[in-house]
Each structure stands twice: as structure tokens, then as C-alpha cells.
A = this chain, B = another copy of it.
Amino acid sequence: MDKSHKCDKTDKCAEKREAIIQAALELVAEQGFHGAPMAMIAEKAGVGAGTIYRYFENKDDLIRWIYKNVEERFVEVMMQGYPEDGPVRERLVHIGTALVRHLISEPLQLRFVEQFHNSPYGVDHRREKIFGQGRKDVISELFHEAVEQQIFKPLELAILFALFFGPLIDICRDHILGFIKLDDALIEQVVGACWDALRR
């Protein structure tokens, strides 16, 4: 829960809050949780150490809040312009390319989520899929449909997800690390390759 403020109308509050969030996101993404002590987050955000506690109950609260928001952002991006009534392949390609494009344009968000998953914070998320519930519903529906129509191989959802999203996230990481250089054409090719993996 985020602490409510009295000064809801002034911009300063929102600005400081945003600065704290951004600072924490960057530090965790770049240095991991070890490299993101509260004092450093405060300094980077240009606020006092105690000030953070006016906006967030504690560090857990701050971290979880950021995670939740980033996660929601992912779903949002994939659902934007989703061709709800298009053929399976078109819908899948949309999701894949939208995800990759977003992840490489917001490298900090990907790094943050990865840090989160491999940390004590992520323990309770272990049993969930890579992303949030909202996405899971629409997308698992798509995958389910494709299996029933015998377009996809008859495999469990978790495995189909691994075949599709696993490589996509890996190439985003490689791109961010400068190991490869993704452009629209290449993204298309890789999504196509993932499609081949799923295809019956």
C-alpha cells in the first residue's frame, strides 16, 4: 500500500514520488538489489533518506509497487492494438513483436523484473507465469484455442509459453547487453521462428 498524502493537489508530491520510483528502478535494474540501498535511492532521487518512508511503508512496499506497475505496463503494451478477431498467427505475432519492442525500448524494466524474479521478493510469484494475470487470461486463451484447432502442437500451456516467450526474452537480454542488434525485420524473423516451434 502506498501511503496517502494530504497534498494531493500539489505537483511536488507526485514529482518526488516519481523520482524515488525512477531512482529505485534504475539502481535495481543496473546494480541488483545489493547495489540499491535506500540511502543511495534517496540520493539519486534527490530526497532525504527519511522522505522515502513518507511515500512507501518500507523497501518491500516500494519494490513490490514498482514491480506491479512494470508488470501492468507489459500487459498494456501487448494488448494495445491487439487484433482480437484476426487469425491466430497474426495475434501471436502482434503479442511477440509488441513485447520485444517494448522490452528493448525499456531495458531497465526488463532488468528490474528479472532481478525481482530471482530474489526473495519473487518467491510468491514462482508459481505464476512470467507475467501478470491479466495477460495470462487473454493469451492463454489464444494458445488454448490454437491447440484445439490443431494449429499448435498438443502440448501443455506452460511448455508452449516456454517455446514462445523463452527465446524472445533471451534475445531482448542479448540486445540490451549489446550482444546482438535487433531491428524490426529481425524481430519478425525470430517471432516467426517461435511460431515454427509451436506449429503442429
Contacts and interface: CB of A to CB of B under 8 A. Distances in A.
Contacts of A186: 159
B166 A170 contact: yes
Interface stretch (A15-23, A44-52, A88-96, A173-181): A173-181
A194 B194 CA distance: 8
B197 A32 contact: no
Interface residues of A, number: 39
A126 interface: yes
B118 A32 contact: yes
Interface in A152-178: 153, 155-156, 158-159, 161-163, 165-167, 169-171, 174, 177
A171 B160 CA distance: 10
SS class, residues of chain A in contact with chain B: helix
A9 interface: no
A37 B136 CA distance: 36
30 contacts: A31-B120, A32-B120, A35-B120, A114-B118, A115-B118, A117-B118, A118-B118, A127-B177, A153-B189, A155-B190, A156-B180, A158-B180, A159-B171, A159-B190, A161-B170, A162-B166, A162-B167, A162-B170, A162-B171, A162-B190, A163-B167, A163-B190, A163-B193, A166-B166, A166-B167, A166-B169, A166-B170, A193-B197, A194-B197, A196-B197
Given A32-B118, A162-B171, A166-B166, 7 more contacts: A31-B120, A34-B120, A159-B167, A159-B171, A162-B166, A163-B194, A167-B197
